[in-house]
Structure 1
Amino acid sequence: MNENIEIPLSKNKIILLFVGALIFVILGLWFAIDPENFKVSIFRYRSAELIKIIGIISVAFFGVCSFFIFKKVFDKKPGLIIDKNGITDNSNSTSIGLVKWTDIIGIRVLEVVNQKFVMIDVSNPEHYIELKKNGIGKMAMKANYKKYGSPISITANSLKSDFKEVRAIIEKQYEKNALQHRL
Structure 2
Amino acid sequence: MNSKIEIPLSKMKITLLLIGAIIFIVLGILFILNPQQFTTNLFRSPEIIRIVGIASVSFFGLCLIFIVKKLFDNKIGLTIDHNGITDNTNATSVGLIEWEDITGIEKVQVASTKILMLQTDKPDKYINRGKSWISKRAMQANNNLYGSPLSIVSNSLKMKFEDLEELIRAEFEKRKK
Cα distance in 2, alignment partners of residues 147 and 139 from structure 1? 12
Amino acid at match of 1:14: I
Amino acid at match of 2:4: N
Aligned to 2:139: 141
**CA displacement 1:41-63 (0-9 Å, x = unmatched):** 242xx111111111111111100
Give secondary structure in 2 for the equivalent of 1:31.
helix
Aligned to 2:111: 113
**CA displacement 1:81-109 (0-9 Å, x = unmatched):** 00000000000111000000111111121
Task: Confirm or deny that 1:161 pairs with 2:159.
Answer: yes
Task: Confirm or deny that 1:74 pairs with 2:77.
Answer: no
Amino acid at match of 1:35: P
Query: With structure 1 as the length reference, what TM-score do the two structures score?
Result: 0.94
- For residues 9-88 of structure 1, the aligned pairs below 5 Å read 9-43=9-43, 46-88=44-86
Cα distance in 1, alignment partners of residues 114 and 130 from structure 2? 22
Cα distance in 2, alignment partners of residues 52 and 112 from structure 1? 25
**CA displacement 1:27-75 (0-9 Å, x = unmatched):** 00000001110112242xx111111111111111100111111100000
**CA displacement 1:97-126 (0-9 Å, x = unmatched):** 000011111112112223211110111001
Query: With structure 2 as the length reference, what TM-score do the two structures score?
Result: 0.97
**Where does structure 1 lack aligned partners over 5 or more consecutive residues?**
none
Give secondary structure in 1 for the equivalent of 2:128.
helix
Cα distance in 2, alignment partners of residues 110 and 135 from structure 1? 24
Regions of 4+ moved over 6 Å: none
Amino acid at match of 2:35: P
**CA displacement 1:148-173 (0-9 Å, x = unmatched):** 11101111100000001101110111
User: Identical aligned pairs, as a percentage?
Assistant: 51
Cα distance in 2, alignment partners of residues 91 and 114 from structure 1? 17
Please provide the CA RMSD for this pair: 0.9
Aligned to 2:2: 2
Aligned length, in residue pairs: 177
Deviation, 1:2, is 2.7
Cα distance in 1, alignment partners of residues 27 and 169 from structure 2? 40
Cα distance in 2, alignment partners of residues 11 and 160 from structure 1? 8
**Where does structure 2 lack aligned partners over 5 or more consecutive residues?**
none
Cα distance in 2, alignment partners of residues 110 and 129 from structure 1? 19
